[in-house]
Structure formats: structure tokens, C-alpha cells
Amino acid sequence: MSDDELQEEKELDLSSPDVVTKYKSAAEIVNRALQLVVSECKPKVRIVDLCEKGDSFIREQAGNMYKNVKKKIERGIAFPTCVSVNNTVCHFSPLASDESVLEENDVVKIDLGCHIDGFIAVVAHTHVVQEGPVTGRAADVIAAANTAAEVALRLVRPGKKNKDVTDAIQKVAAAYDCKILEGVLSHQLKQFVIDGNKVVLSVASPDVRVDDAEFEENEVYSIDIVTSTGEGKPKMLDERQTTIYKRAVDKNYHLKMKSSRFIFSEISQKFPIMPFSARALEEKRARLGLVECMNHDLLQPYPVLHEKPGDLVAHVKFTVLLMPNGSDRITSHSLQQLKPNKSVDEDPEIKSWLALGTKSKKKGGGKKKKGKKGDAKEETEAMDTDAAPAHE
């Protein structure tokens, strides 16, 4: 590898100010897109219209960035907008013909992502369609997800291990009499990679295992936490609800059907790396073509999962940059007022985790300066998380 190539590779992590800027630009778009979708969550609004608004906003805002640079920079949707309600866990992003609407008191999970030059920011947030404070089990499950996210933010730091986070978030959920959902993975993010090999497992189980890993400076993670008032063992009920896919770049197959070849060519041109919604394809051909692509493992599906009817699910996902001066959470949304039945106030271990700062103390004998940007912010808003459930 030449010196130039080595330099170029080195600059693809957070040691390059340009890379940090691109992550933060993507995050700004994501946060504003989320704010837009939350503001539109009202009774009788069609879910597909909310998804389209989120996607259109991201496409437009990302398209306006880096227009005047010589080198073409890829930018746009990193994860299609999903709006999953009540006991539906994630990945619900219906086709244009779907008539599903929101209702009063629905517990709504909004999940979306943007990338600038392949540098990805993702977010998920849970919102209840109501005026005034959220109470009862809805408040419990949302507080569980957000408190677990706050703890995870403080434990995803250089020197800590992925297992530390897995154990801690389960303890937090239990304090609210809730469960962390099985099969959810939080991934390291890299340029054009939304599901890096370094992962945090939400719940250890015999079916899903991950390698032990230690967090390191200059890494980026999408931390994905899903809590439930039910058993935490979601199931796919209807394959036809699946509309989000990602091209499996390591697989090849000569498709037989003309419609399949047409759709796969469209996918390869428009969405070579990032997840996409079937809504963005030519719909009549897509239905037939996607089946053959799936049958030969050319696409990785993101299934729509459900807990049992009556259970409530909350989802929080956030993107965090492990900077030299500490953890920088770049995607978030402010919470509705919550009045949960349960509390973590009596648990000394959870309180000690929440008391941890997210910024590093300066090395050397000098006094730490106060009032730095981000120090005041770090104890506030709860965050949102990202990862595809590892259910097949």
C-alpha cells in the first residue's frame, strides 16, 4: 500500500475532521427528519404518508449537500423511514397502497437513517399519540428504553466491553418490569457499512452469539435498544409485511425471470449498499422480482416483527462517536413527559452508571475547564438506537 493509500485509509475514521463533519451533517438531517415525522403523528394519518415524508426530507436535504465539489459524493437515505405501532417491533414501512393509520394513544416507533459519503447516522424514537404526560405501562416501557440508552451511552467507551452493555441494559429494563427484546444487535458503523462486525448483543441466548469485543477510540456505533411489556421474544407473522431489504454484496446468481433481472438491476443501480424500501421500486414488477431475489439470497430482508397483541414495545436508537474527548451522541429527540409506575431511583448500580460522565477528563495536571459544549447536554435527552433484529 502506498503512502497516499495509507493516508486515505487512516482518514476514514474520526481522526479526520472531514469524516466527523460528514457524520454530524448526516445526524443533523436525521434529527430534523425525525422531528418532522413526530410532529405529523396524529390520529387518522396514514403510516405510509409518514414514511414518505421522512424519506423525502432526507433525500432532499442530503441532496443539497456537497453539490459543488469535484468528486461525486454519494448521499441520501441510509435506512428507510419506518413507523411501527404498539406491539409491532420494527421495520414497518408499508407500500403506497397500504391504508394503515395511526390512532389516539398509539405507541409509535420511528426509525430512520441518512448518510453523507457513506458516513451513516441513524436514530429511532418512541412517541405516544396523545396530549399531556404518558402514564402507565406505556410510560414504563418508554422509560425503560430511554434509561437503558442513557446507561449504554455511558458504557460504550474505550476500554469497556460489549458484554458490559448487554448486562446493564437488561438490568435497567427489569427495574421497569420490562424485557429487552431478543435478537436486537447494535452495530459498529463504518463508511458504507451499516452493520459492522463489532456488535453489542441486547440479550445473550443460545441462538444468537457474538464475539467479545472492546470499544476503541475513533469508532462509531449505532446503539439499538428495544424494550417490551411482553416476553421479549418477537415473531414474524406475515412475510408480505416485509418491505425493507439490503443487497447481499457477496452473493451472485443468474436470475431466470425477466422481472427479477429488471428489479435486481434497479436495486444494484439505486441501492448498491444501503438498505432500501420496496416502495422505492417499480411496484408491479417488484412483487414478483423480489421473491426470486430473496429465494437465492441476493437480498437480506428486514422482517416486520411483533410481540403479542396487547404488549407495548418501545425503541430507542442513537449514533455515538467515540471521540478522544469522550462519547458524542449525535442523534436524538426530546422525550414526552413520562410518569412511569416504576423507577430506578432505588438501584445503586443503575444510579452509578447514570452518574458517569460522557466526556473524558483532560490528561495532564491542568484543571478541567467547565462549560464546554456538550457537557451540559450529556445528562439530558434520551436517545434512539439502530440495529436489525437478528431473526431470520
| Mean pLDDT per 10-residue segment, the chain (392 residues) | 50 90 98 98 98 98 90 94 98 95 98 98 98 97 98 96 96 97 95 94 84 96 98 93 93 91 93 94 81 94 97 98 96 96 94 90 46 37 36 33
- pLDDT at residue 362 in the model: 52
- pLDDT at residue 69 in the model: 83
Cell readout for 49 is 404518508
Residues 203, 157: Cα–Cα separation, whole Å: 20
Positions of CATH 1.10.10.10 in the chain: 243-302
Positions of CATH 3.90.230.10 in the chain: 11-239+303-356+372-379
- pLDDT at residue 286 in the model: 82
Q: What is the phi/psi pair of residue 267, to 5°?
A: -60, -45
Residues 232, 346: Cα–Cα separation, whole Å: 24
Topology of the domain covering 243-302: Arc Repressor Mutant, subunit A (1.10.10)
- pLDDT at residue 205 in the model: 79
CATH of 11-239+303-356+372-379, one of 3.90.230.10, 3.40.50.970, 3.20.20.70, 3.20.20.210: 3.90.230.10
CB burial string 110-140: b at 16+ within 10 A, e below: bbbbbbbbbbbbbbbbbbbbbeeebeebbbb
Q: Which pTM does this prediction carry? A: 0.89
Residues 6+ apart with CB under 8 A from 318: 123, 149, 153, 222, 223, 329, 330, 331, 332, 383, 384, 385, 386
Residues 235, 220: Cα–Cα separation, whole Å: 30
C-alpha dihedral (294, 250, 76, 112), degrees to nearest 10? 60
Residues 349, 295: Cα–Cα separation, whole Å: 48
